[in-house]
A and B are shown apart, each in its own frame.
Chain A
Amino acid sequence: MDHSATTPVDSLVVDAMLPFFSEIFGNASSLHSFGTEAAEALSLARKQVADAIGALPEEIIFTSGGTESDNLAIRGVVPFNEGKKHIITSVIEHPAVLNTCSFLESLGHEVTYVPVDVDGIIDVKVLEESIRKNTAIISVMHANNEVGTIQPIEEISGIAKEHNIYFHTDAVQSVGKIPVNVDDLGVDMLSISSHKIHGPKGVGALYVRNGTNISPIVFGGNHEKGMRSGTENVSGIVGFGKAMELAAERLSEDSVHMTRMRDSLISRVFDTISDVRLNGHPSKRLPNNVNMSFKYAEGESMLMLLDMQGVAVSTGSACSSKSLKASHVLSALRIEDEFIHGSLRMSLGRENTMDDIDHMVDALQETITKLRAMSPLADR
């Protein structure tokens, strides 16, 4: 129930990767036959990734994952675009985008963080009003990693195009859950991560539309047409390619299955547990995301009790985070502190079943009952 954190690698993906450790171990840059085999595998993976999102193979740059892709998109475009020093993003982006922006701010660039409504949808009007003559890029995530809210990307990319500004979206959470097509979305750049879609960790891609003026952030031996130097992670990229192919093939089946489980989980929690709220948009949300808050129960305590019952979830509560700060996303949705402390994200995957939902509901009931019996707030 924590698939937004990561997913198990699909067995077909493992099978595709295995030959690339000891048998086909060549360096894709080498000219001999060992290298050529590796290079061919990279081309196939590039095509698999491109096909899955409606892009051209040459528009795919392999990276070490979603975080590097976000960094490359923003740091590759902003400092090198004719004195354009302004970035527009949202307050609920992933730290990979937010911390990249705050780093650029420290170097003298300007950033506008556009607010969201109580469901987590970005304020498009404020975004449009924030556009300046020197705006280099707009970066807004496709779907939020905590509350699953899906943003009106087509609308935002249209605005960006009108003003001749590059548009990047972090699609790490949406790929494999909802349709992601670069032309339909109208994006110039799009970040993808392999391990969120049953691929291996440590690999991802940035889609960069042909003609985009972007500079590398990693320099070296000019791999990936100079856009990302460093010997390619061949086995990882092969696995990522296979995972993208499978994600595209299974998308409609997976999303129906996950939506059914999601809606069942939400309605059963509302039916059986009191003082609950759903965080995020009721319908414009990822098929696999359930984020709910329980009054009089604290997130980390719920997480640990659920873990003892064999259920893995995550929480936006302050105590559970390394920074000891409550979720910036839930705060941006203006959710009361009491509910933020009691928030749980339950994120589903294709291998979950309705039995898992039954178990989740039972475990939640037991956990909440136990913690509320302990809470001095519950009887006030």
Chain B
Amino acid sequence: MYSKKVMEEFSNPANVGVVEDADGVGEVGSTIDGDIINISIKVKDNILEDVKFKTFGCVVAISTSSAVVKLAKGKTVDEAMALTNEDVISYLDGLPEGKDRCSGFALDALKMAINDYIHKNK
């Protein structure tokens, strides 16, 4: 029921971990919901030079985390902030009906990390 792309990102996720000396960190979810997504970023010259994630959760949580990180890496802060949930879902060739509920969490974590960076550098 999951697309090939989802299973690829899920079974071979890239960029797992925590960025060293991160410039921004975002985390969403709780153990009660069953999904926790942590995204950390390193910004250089306004570009997301490094982005990493650590995720506890289901196939959608892991595959969207991996997708969001890949989409954000190398983008400017503004470009990354402009990413939408549709971008993530289309990158994954769609999500099964009813499984898109938690697809926005990873993007939320990314934006939280960027806001954290912006806040620290005001």
Instruction: Name the interface residues of B1-58: CB closer than 8 Å to any CB of A.
Output: 2, 7, 10-11, 13, 16, 27, 31-32, 34-38, 54-58
Given contacts A319-B34, A373-B16, A376-B27, contact A296 B11 (CB under 8 A): no
- A93 → B minimal CB distance (Å): 24
Q: Is the CB of A298 within 8 A of B61?
A: yes
The majority secondary structure among interface residues of chain A is helix
* B59 contacts chain A at the CB level, 8 A cutoff: yes
Could you tell me how many residues of chain B have their Cβ less than 8 Å away from some Cβ of chain A?
Answer: 26
Q: Is the CB of A317 within 8 A of B55?
A: no
From A301, A322, A373, A377, contact of B31 by CB (8 A): A377
Given contacts A338-B31, A341-B34, contact A301 B59 (CB under 8 A): yes
A278 to B38, CA, bound (A): 29
Instruction: Name the interface residues of B55-102: CB closer than 8 Å to any CB of A.
Output: 55-62, 98, 101-102
**Nearest residue, chain A, Cβ from B29:** A376
**Nearest residue, chain A, Cβ from B11:** A308
* A375 contacts chain B at the CB level, 8 A cutoff: yes
A373 to B61, CA, bound (A): 15
* A300 contacts chain B at the CB level, 8 A cutoff: yes
Interface residues on A, range: 20 to 34
Binary CB contact string for chain A from 274 to 311 against chain B (1 if under 8 A, 0 otherwise): 00000000000000000000001111110011001000
Given contacts A341-B31, A376-B36, contact A301 B13 (CB under 8 A): no
- A268 → B minimal CB distance (Å): 25
Q: Which residues of B contact A117 (CB under 8 A)?
A: none
**Nearest residue, chain B, Cβ from A320:** B58
Q: Which residues of A contact B36 (CB under 8 A)?
A: 375-377
* A12 contacts chain B at the CB level, 8 A cutoff: no
- B105 → A minimal CB distance (Å): 12
Q: Is the CB of B58 within 8 A of A305?
A: no
- A298 → B minimal CB distance (Å): 5
A373 to B52, CA, bound (A): 13
Chain B positions near chain A (C-beta within 8 angstroms): 2, 7, 10-11, 13, 16, 27, 31-32, 34-38, 54-62, 98, 101-102
Chain A positions near chain B (C-beta within 8 angstroms): 296-301, 304-305, 308, 317-320, 322, 324, 326, 337-338, 341, 371, 373-378
